[in-house]
């Protein structure tokens, strides 16, 4: 491979990682936009999502990379796995909001945020105790089809990741821009009290934000498995922190910002690995987080957070 | 005391607190169907708190709020909107990053979509041609006067029986104040009851049928607008605006 090809290859990888971070960052941004809460349980909802996808694929008799599916069975199995992890994660998100965070809604200060950290560890330990600490092989039934772009290789996996991510982000954008509940979400993020006086039931909006954000984390968790061919109980922390950085980079509370921020972080991760070595990746990513917080705290695309009233 | 004798809103012995602060002190009001009732008072006397108590944003510690014969003080805000109470908020509070059209849609949030929505939209556009021109602009980019028109239009989209307005003249140029008050009168003539919180007593009393005067959370005076306009106590103690006007 020439240097240009290597860069192209890393850009392809970076876009897949970026799609994964974008989907995960959206959950942080949706919840923060509506209730100014950093939801640390999101890290491990993502991790649970990757295991739900893994178990679902295994239930179809798939293990490792040995069983290849094509045609309708492939599409069906992948769809079922995505839907299973999204639905289950969405339900976990809703349960966390309904039973643990809603009772704290009126409590000022960091109580809710600390609760989300606790929930994160509960999820972590539940998976640790039931599945174990070692790395699990993530089934990948995709045919080893590749396309050459110059000297770089585009695999079917990347195409699948990109299509799923585009569909989900397009769907989210449509939902937020054009549906009644989506508009209620935007209104609540901009002025919660005024939204309430329009007749918006804020509980429903908060619940929707948790469901949608957590479902996207589920999809992101499945993408993690497909990308790395593994899942592991501690994947939530590194991926979650990067996705959180992506959300801050794009301007926390800002939906398109989280998408753009995620792709940028993915590209930075892949390309910095190429240029200066993977040991430096975290230094660069978190260096960016610090620089953004210091010099442009509203993020690249501006903050869309609740007005104080 | 109402236009046709029946009451739309009754506030009975309402006490509202913010922690230790006693914001409404045993307050009583009535608003008759078809009336324009104004609540006058200076800064921080509890005018907005009264509004928020009607809308259910703050809950009274004791007392009853009855809307059209039905106690509402325990109902959530969304239910009150469905019963027909709509707000025009202090400082307008449009959703700044939503278009004017979307702001109007939010006003109709509790209403069914379809023919009725288009009808209501046409009504707002014909009352405020300016709002129609601006329909694709973001709420935050309009001038104060334009925002007030959208805010009133947004309230009308809920098909309210009672509109609660919190200082509709605040921050507007005198020309816009005139316009806004004309429109309020027009909306009232079309059948909507108006409850209007104001510091601008002169303007408020020029269109209101009746008014109450609030001072540090307690009602200290009430009567018809005509009575209050000539009440020396008001000119002395509460309504700087009126005093200046009379002197001039
Ligand atoms: N959310 C709140 N928390 C605590 N105190 C408040 C709150 N809102 C208003 N107050 C206080 O209650 C009093 C009445 O306020 P308000 O009803 O907003 O007055 P007005 O609208 O007449 O200016 C003021 O002393 C104000 O500081
Ligand atoms: Mg006020």
Residue A303 has pLDDT above 60, yes or no: no
Rounded to whole angstroms, the Cα distance separating A85 from A43 reads 15
Task: Write down the residue that tokens 């300016």 correspond to.
Answer: B130
Residues of A contacting chain B (CB within 8 angstroms): 180, 183-184, 186-187, 190-191, 193-201, 304, 307, 309
Provide the β-strand partners of residue B163. B86, B194
ipTM: 0.92
Residue A308 has pLDDT above 60, yes or no: no
Residue A1 has pLDDT above 90, yes or no: no
Query: Which three-class secondary structure state does DSSP give residue A24?
Result: helix
pLDDT in tens, B101-129: 999 999 999 998 888 999 999 999 999 99
User: How many percent of chain A have pLDDT more than 90?
Assistant: 82
pLDDT in tens, A110-154: 999 999 999 999 999 999 999 999 999 999 999 999 999 988 999
- Domains contained in chain A, number: 1
- Is A94 part of any domain? yes
pLDDT recorded at residue B3: 54
- Residue B245 vs residue B164, higher pLDDT: B164
Residue identifier of the C-alpha nearest atom 26 of ligand 1: B44
pLDDT recorded at residue B201: 87
Query: Within a 13 Å sphere around the CA of A258, how many CA atoms are in the beta-carbon half?
Result: 28
Which range, of B29-43, B113-127, B222-236, averages the lowest pLDDT?
A: B222-236
pLDDT in tens, A44-85: 999 999 999 999 999 999 988 888 898 999 999 999 999 999
Taking an 8 Å cut-off on Cβ atoms, the answer to whether B98 and A190 are in contact is yes
Taking an 8 Å cut-off on Cβ atoms, the answer to whether B109 and A199 are in contact is yes
pLDDT recorded at residue A306: 42
The CATH fold of domain B1-84+161-242: Rossmann fold (3.40.50)
pLDDT recorded at residue B164: 98
Mean pLDDT, chain B, integer: 91
How does residue A276 score in pLDDT terms, banded at 50, 70 and 90? confident
- Tell how far the Cα of B196 is from the centroid of ligand 1, in angstroms: 17
Taking an 8 Å cut-off on Cβ atoms, the answer to whether A196 and B109 are in contact is no
Whether the full predicted model's pTM is greater than 0.90, yes or no, is yes
Residue A289 has pLDDT above 90, yes or no: no
Nearest Cα residue to A191 out of B154, B128, B209:
B154
Residue B239 has pLDDT above 90, yes or no: no
Mean pLDDT of B174-187: 93
Mean pLDDT of A170-178: 97
Q: Nearest 10 degrees: CA dihedral of A119, A122, A127, A132?
A: 140
Residue B4 has pLDDT above 80, yes or no: no
Residue ranges of the domains in chain B? Answer: 1-84+161-242, 87-159
Is B215's C-beta closer than 6 angstroms to any atom of ligand 1? no
pLDDT recorded at residue B210: 97
Residue A7 has pLDDT above 50, yes or no: yes
- Is A307 part of any domain? no
- Contact in structure between B38 and B210 (CB atoms under 8 Å): yes
Residue B248 has pLDDT above 50, yes or no: no
Residue A31 has pLDDT above 80, yes or no: yes
pLDDT recorded at residue B244: 35
DSSP summary character for residue B89: B
How does residue B233 score in pLDDT terms, banded at 50, 70 and 90? confident
pLDDT in tens, B187-220: 999 999 999 999 888 889 999 999 999 999 999 9
Residue A257 has pLDDT above 90, yes or no: yes
pLDDT recorded at residue B236: 63
- Is A127 part of any domain? yes
Residue B38 has pLDDT above 80, yes or no: yes
pLDDT recorded at residue B138: 96
Pull the structure tokens for residue A177: 């821009």
Rounded to whole angstroms, the Cα distance separating A265 from A288 reads 9
Q: Provide the domain limits for residue A216.
A: 3-295
Which range, of B51-60, B109-118, B149-158, averages the lowest pLDDT?
A: B109-118
pLDDT recorded at residue B242: 40
Distance from CA of A199 to the nearest CA of B (A): 4
Taking an 8 Å cut-off on Cβ atoms, the answer to whether A197 and B109 are in contact is no
CA of A134: how far to CAs of A122, A127, B164, B234, in Å? 18, 11, 62, 79
Pull the structure tokens for residue B237: 């103690």
Residue A264 has pLDDT above 70, yes or no: yes
Task: Give B-chain residues touching A187 at CB under 8 angstroms.
Answer: 95, 98, 106
Q: Atom of ligand 1 at shortest distance to CA of B47?
A: 22
pLDDT recorded at residue B231: 83
Write phi, then psi, for A305 (nearest 5 degrees): -120, 170
Residue A25 has pLDDT above 70, yes or no: yes
């Amino acid at each position: 491979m020439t240097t240009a090809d290597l860069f192209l290859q890393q850009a392809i990888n970076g876009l897949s990682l970026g799609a994964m971070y974008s989907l995960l960052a959206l959950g942080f941004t949706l919840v923060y936009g509506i209730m100014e809460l950093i939801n640390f349980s999101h890290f491990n909802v993502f991790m649970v999502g990757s295991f739900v996808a893994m178990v679902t694929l295994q239930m179809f008799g798939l293990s490792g990379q040995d069983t290849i599916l094509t045609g309708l069975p492939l599409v069906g199995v992948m769809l079922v796995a995505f839907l299973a992890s999204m639905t289950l994660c969405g339900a976990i998100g809703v349960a966390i909001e309904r039973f643990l965070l809603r009772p704290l809604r009126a409590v000022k200060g960091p109580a809710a945020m600390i609760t989300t950290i606790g929930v994160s560890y509960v999820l972590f330990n539940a998976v640790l105790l039931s599945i174990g600490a070692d790395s699990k092989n993530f089934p990948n039934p995709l045919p080893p089809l590749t396309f050459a772009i110059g000297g770089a290789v585009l695999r079917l996996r990347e195409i699948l990741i990109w299509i799923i991510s585009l569909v989900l982000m397009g769907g989210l954008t449509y939902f937020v821009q054009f549906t009644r509940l989506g508009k209620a979400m935007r209104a609540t993020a901009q002025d919660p009290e005024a939204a309430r006086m329009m007749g918006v039931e804020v509980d429903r909006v908060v619940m929707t934000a948790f469901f949608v954000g957590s479902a996207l984390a589920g999809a992101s968790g499945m993408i993690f498995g497909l990308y790395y061919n593994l899942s592991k109980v501690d994947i939530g922390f590194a991926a979650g922190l990067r996705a959180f950085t992506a959300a801050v980079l794009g301007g926390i509370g800002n939906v398109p910002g989280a998408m753009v921020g995620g792709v940028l972080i993915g590209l930075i991760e892949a390309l910095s690995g190429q240029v200066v070595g993977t040991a430096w990746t975290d230094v660069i990513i978190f260096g960016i987080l610090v620089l953004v917080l210091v010099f442009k705290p509203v993020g690249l695309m501006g903050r869309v957070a609740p007005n104080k009233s | 005391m109402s236009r046709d004798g029946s009451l739309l809103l009754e506030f009975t012995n309402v006490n509202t607190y913010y922690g230790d602060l006693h914001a409404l002190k045993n307050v009583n009001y009535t608003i008759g169907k078809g009336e324009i009732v104004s609540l006058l008072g200076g800064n921080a006397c509890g005018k907005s708190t009264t509004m928020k108590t009607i809308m259910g944003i703050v809950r009274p510690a004791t007392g009853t709020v009855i809307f059209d014969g039905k106690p509402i003080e325990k109902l959530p805000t969304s239910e009150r909107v469905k019963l027909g109470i709509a707000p025009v908020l202090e400082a307008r509070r449009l959703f700044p990053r939503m278009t004017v059209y979307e702001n109007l849609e939010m006003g109709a949030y509790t209403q069914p979509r379809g023919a009725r929505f288009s009808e209501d939209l046409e009504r707002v556009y014909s009352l405020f041609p300016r709002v129609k021109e601006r329909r694709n602009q973001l709420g935050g980019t309009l001038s104060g006067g334009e925002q007030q028109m959208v805010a009133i239009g947004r309230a009308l989209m809920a098909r309210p029986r009672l509109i609660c307005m919190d200082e509709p003249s605040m921050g507007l140029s005198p020309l816009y104040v005139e316009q806004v008050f004309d429109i309020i009168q027009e909306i009232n003539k079309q059948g909507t009851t108006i409850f209007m919180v104001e510091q601008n007593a002169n303007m408020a009393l020029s269109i209101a049928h009746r008014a109450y005067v609030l001072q540090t959370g307690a009602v200290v005076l009430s009567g018809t607008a005509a009575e209050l306009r000539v009440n020396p106590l008001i000119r002395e103690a509460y309504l700087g605006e009126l005093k200046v006007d009379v002197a001039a």
